[in-house]
Structure 1
Amino acid sequence: MRLGPIFRILGALLYGFIGYELGIALTGSVELNTDTAPVIWGATLGGALLGALLAPWLVIAPARSARNWLRNVPMPDLLTGTIGLAGGLLIAALLAYPISRLPPPFGSILPFVGVLIFGYLGVTVLVLRQDDFFSFFGVNAGKLGSDDDATAASTPAQALLLDTSVIIDGRIADIAQTGFILGTLQVPRFVLNELQYIADSSDTLRRNRGRRGLEILDKLQSNADVAIEFTDEDPKDVQQVDDKLISLALSGGAAIVTNDYNLNRVAQLQGVKVLNINELANAVKSVVLPGEDLPLKIIQEGKEHNQGVGYLEDGTMVVVENGRRFLNQEVLVQVTKVLQTNAGRLIFAVPEGS
């Protein structure tokens, strides 16, 4: 029910009555005649119009602000504040009669001052000492949750749309198995069709990649701890798989999980949340600082003269200057520089003691 029209009518009646009384005061007469009627009716109509215009701003806006403020107040604070206010006003009421017997002007002013002081003290003291208050009555304040907390707890996790690249990559299965993914993994039918098309390719490499993707989906589906579902939703207004994923994410409020840099950028520009497995992998890699010593096995030659190349356990490439002579040997190297690129992290080092 909309309260705006009701308050406008009440405001028009109240301010119209005030305008009527003002018109009578201006004319000095309660009789309506040719001299007084324009003033009285003008003041009445003007007051009614003013009341109809101002009533929502004077009543509804403050009430809405108070309601929004109350929504953000924790239930323990609200409960103890109300009890404290009631207790403070009760004390002020008990003291009001003896204080009112004081000689003027104290007898008329101090009771009102007492209401303000004891009301404020009641709210402040009980809110600040609410833990002791609840403990005295054997109540756990932590259980007095707000509606917002209950709503947040019952809000389902965001669905995650998997694209072809992240399925073929395979790391999503290991990540899901750890329990870090809270939402439901969704595989659209058009992504599954693209995987099947790749698996049926005449090119051996593409065929193996497609089959690996299907195996990853089977692994996810067989894991009881992973929530995965296949959806038949297929946006008809777009043709490309990436465009379909973005359209599906926008319509369903889902996020996209991908390794595709271009899809990542385009989706983010359109306001879609994107989870990039490569970014996650870079985030969990061990931190290496210049000057640190690392044991490293040189497994191949570098592009430049006398360079050797090795890899850390997390797959980070380490380029070792003058490391070619240690090919197929494990040596201690000292980090000289760390570069972060779009493709990942690259570490430069030199053999210890060189």
Structure 2
Amino acid sequence: MGLILKILSACVVFYGAYAFSRTLPGHLWAYVIPSAALLILVAIFLKERLGYRRIAKSYFGASIGVLIGFVIAAFLSSVLKAIIPDGWMYLSLVVYVILGYLGYSVGMEKGGLYGVEDTSRQVGDTQNAPCNIKILDTSVIIDGRIPDICDAGFIEGVLLVPQFILNELQHIADASDPLKRARGRRGLDVLKRLKKHPHVEVEITDRDFPRIKQVDSKLIALAKELGATILTNDYNLNKVAQIQGVNVLNINQLADAVKPIVLPGESIKVSITKEGREKGQGVAYLEDGTMVV
């Protein structure tokens, strides 16, 4: 369904550009404007192959927004032609660009919102199907264990990355501190790895809450709106979200839950890494990092 919407959106944009070029005098426009539209579509395709996918219905909503913008621009262009017979064409081009961009922006945002809601009901066909969207925060992306957990099959479905989280991650990757910069770049590499994972689908949403300043509060508001689960390593976010009735998955809690249980008196084989303080003592570590003397 997502591929069909993207192909349909691309056809709508290309045909709209071609139809607009036919209304302009001269044959040059018939080649320039469709070619520009084709280059934009190719750039979006390459961005998806190399970067991150947006929700399919975002593109469809953007296409509808562009067409509505073109219709309004066509009406204004006819008015400009009557008022300014000589220079109306150049002003008309500016009007088309401005209204087309506004239609694109509004359509992308609204289509993306509805796309998320529809994605949450792809599994099953009942209205009460459980939501399978998990919203990633910055801490869990930088942590780097998410791809391995997905490989094990513990996490599947849609992994939603809000644009404000992506911006925060980019800001960390551009930091002057080498440690922060390395963590930010590792987070970006983790997202690229997740994008290629066969069991999950990484989606980017432009949904934002301008009146809310704190990123954690934005995550909680988005999770409430979509009925989604927050995936995090942040202890404070975990507690605050649970108080507000939002489902949370904490990777650290999962790691604690799967630690091997060693009973007193049980014999296990370990590799001694260094000497202990007392004579005859040695220090070793279990697979989960627990120190054994």
> Normalising to structure 2: TM-score of the pair?
0.53
1:269 to 1:154, Cα distance in 2 relative to 1, 3 A: closer
RMSD (CA atoms): 2.3
Q: Which of 219, 223, 239 matches 2:213?
A: 239
CA distance in 1, matches of 2:231, 2:130: 18
1:277 aligns with 2:274: no
Question: Aligned residue for 1:259?
Answer: 233
1:171 aligns with 2:145: yes
1:317 to 1:181, Cα distance in 2 relative to 1, 3 A: same
CA distance in 2, matches of 1:305, 1:202: 45
1:212 aligns with 2:186: yes
Question: Aligned residue for 1:318?
Answer: 291
State how 1:125-136 maps to structure 2 within 5 Å.
Answer: none
Determine which structure has more spread, i.e. the larger CA radius of gyration: 1
Question: Aligned residue for 1:350?
Answer: none
CA distance in 1, matches of 2:152, 2:229: 19
1:286 aligns with 2:260: yes
Contact 1:195–1:213 (8 Å) recurs in 2: yes
Question: Aligned residue for 1:192?
Answer: 166
CA distance in 2, matches of 1:301, 1:235: 56
CA distance in 2, matches of 1:186, 1:309: 43
Query: 1:78-111 CA distances to partner (integer Å, 9 max, x unpaired)?
Result: xxxxxxxxxxxxxxxxxxxxxxxxxxxxxxxxxx
Contact 1:166–1:257 (8 Å) recurs in 2: yes
Contact 1:157–1:182 (8 Å) recurs in 2: no
Secondary structure at 1:295 match in 2: coil
Secondary structure at 1:217 match in 2: helix
Q: Which of 173, 177, 181 matches 2:155?
A: 181
The offset of 1:225, in angstroms, is 2.8
Q: Tell me, which stretches of 5 or more residues in structure 1 are unaligned? A: 1-149, 321-354
The offset of 1:300, in angstroms, is 4.8
Secondary structure at 2:193 match in 1: helix
Q: Which of 296, 313, 336 matches 2:270?
A: 296
Secondary structure at 1:239 match in 2: coil
> Normalising to structure 1: TM-score of the pair?
0.44
Task: Give the residue type in structure 1 aligned to 2:138.
Answer: T
1:240 to 1:299, Cα distance in 2 relative to 1, 3 A: farther
Contact 2:286–2:292 (8 Å) recurs in 1: no
CA distance in 1, matches of 2:261, 2:127: 35
Secondary structure at 2:291 match in 1: strand
Query: 1:185-213 CA distances to partner (integer Å, 9 max, x unpaired)?
Result: 10001111111111111111111111100
CA distance in 1, matches of 2:174, 2:272: 38
User: Which has the bigger relative contact order, CA under 8 A and spacing at least 6?
Assistant: 2
1:286 to 1:236, Cα distance in 2 relative to 1, 3 A: same
Task: Give the residue type in structure 1 aligned to 2:291.
Answer: V
Q: Which of 223, 235, 239 matches 2:197?
A: 223
The offset of 1:301, in angstroms, is 6.7
Secondary structure at 1:299 match in 2: strand
Task: Give the residue type in structure 1 aligned to 2:262.
Answer: V
CA distance in 2, matches of 1:248, 1:309: 47
Task: Give the residue type in structure 2 aligned to 1:318.
Answer: M
